Amino acid sequence: MSGDREILNWTSNDPRQSLLYNAWGILYRLSTEQSGGKHTTTIWRAIRQNREDRVARLEWNPNGGLGRAILGRTIIPMADLVRSDTPHSRSSYRAFNGPDGIPYRWRASSTSSDLLLQDPSGSVIALFRPVRGARSSLGDVTGELHIYPNSGNGTVQHPPMMDMVVTTAMLNRMVTQYAL
């Protein structure tokens, strides 16, 4: 924890095959497998020592494009988790509906390379910051996910919302890196 935020280190240039961790250990593990020509990414959340819960299963289209996401018992197109906030524009805003039914949006910062997550009131509740050259025993750190637990309605660290933050941050990284 750093002041009013928690920082999770994000390993790997491939966000589909990475770890998110802090001083307490690994919090999320993203693992991608290939079977029969299909790639599937599973996002796991650590719940205690040597125990994980599946947060999401992302089934990529055969061409590597956005496919479908299975979040709990809900199946939705991945595109719904990174939809353009303003239709028919070149907006850098990517929106999704949170587990609370409220729309949230990721947007590029105008002053840095950060990707900001805002609630409907415009409060920044999280951000993704690319970093370079950071090494750790868990792998090369290529980014930081900053969580602001006291911003907005204060629920960003609760599992359903935090899981959605991690899932949509990963999808936004993929959309940006591979122009999906």
Does residue 6 carry a pLDDT above 50? yes
Q: What is the pLDDT of residue 152?
A: 82
In angstroms and rounded to an integer, the radius of gyration of the C-alpha atoms of the chain is 15
Amino acid at residue number 153: N
Residue of higher predicted confidence among 85 and 22: 22
Tokens for 180? Answer: 């999906």
Does residue 3 carry a pLDDT above 50? yes
Percent of the chain exceeding pLDDT 90 equals 71
Does residue 46 carry a pLDDT above 50? yes
Tokens for 6? Answer: 């928690």
Does residue 51 carry a pLDDT above 60? yes
Does residue 158 carry a pLDDT above 90? no
Does residue 136 carry a pLDDT above 70? yes
Residue of higher predicted confidence among 84 and 169: 169
Q: What is the pLDDT of residue 88?
A: 58
Residues 22 and 6: beta-carbon distance below 8 Å: yes
Does residue 100 carry a pLDDT above 60? yes
Does residue 91 carry a pLDDT above 70? no
**What's the rounded Cα separation, in Å, for the pair 146 and 5?**
6
pLDDT range class, residue 180, cuts 50, 70, 90:
confident
Q: What is the pLDDT of residue 1?
A: 39
Q: What is the pTM (predicted TM-score) of this model?
A: 0.92
Does residue 48 carry a pLDDT above 90? no
**CB neighbours (10 Å) of residue 86?**
11
Backbone angles phi, psi at 167, to 5 degrees: -60, -50
Give the model confidence (pLDDT) of 20-44 as tens digits: 999 989 999 999 999 988 999 999 9
Does residue 11 carry a pLDDT above 90? yes
Q: Report domain extents, the chain.
A: 6-171
